[in-house]
Amino acid sequence: MNISDRKFETMSELGIDKLTKYRGHRRLKVFYYKGLTCSMEGCTKVGTRLIKGTSKLGSVHVDIYTDDFELMNVDHYIPRSFGGSDHLDNLVPMCSTCNHMKGNKFIGVDMNHHFVSPTHPNI
């Protein structure tokens, strides 16, 4: 998802250094504790922008985007459809492109907690 797809009335860039403020946030804590780089093997996308958007109704949403404004997502290492939890140990940063391609597949991870290519032919 690109930033232009979002339906915000106003947007402002907070600066990635402000991520510390959100270290307890349900979703943003994943980026604070696990980094801003996409976890899919071979992907080099990095979240560099912390952007706050406000809807016409006044709701506020804070997201992390890459330099080219691609949304960074939080992915479940073990998908929820396979019993994976929302615990921090099961969550990793991932760009929206890789997250969409991965879907609910369960794939391996290397020693640095980066996703690796699936080894099972049915995945």
Cα(86)–Cα(95) distance, integer angstroms: 18
pLDDT tens-digit profile of 71-116?
Answer: 999 999 888 888 889 999 999 999 999 999 888 877 665 555 565 5
2 vs 14, higher pLDDT: 14
Q: What is the mean pLDDT of the chain?
A: 84
Q: Cα-flanking dihedrals φ and ψ of residue 104, to 5°?
A: -105, 25
63-86 per-residue burial string, b: 16 or more CB within 10 A, e: under 16 = bbbbeeebbbbbbbbebeeeebee
What type of residue is 96?
S
Q: Does the pLDDT at position 68 exceed 90? A: yes
| Averaged pLDDT, 23-27 | 93
Report percent pLDDT > 70 for the chain. 81
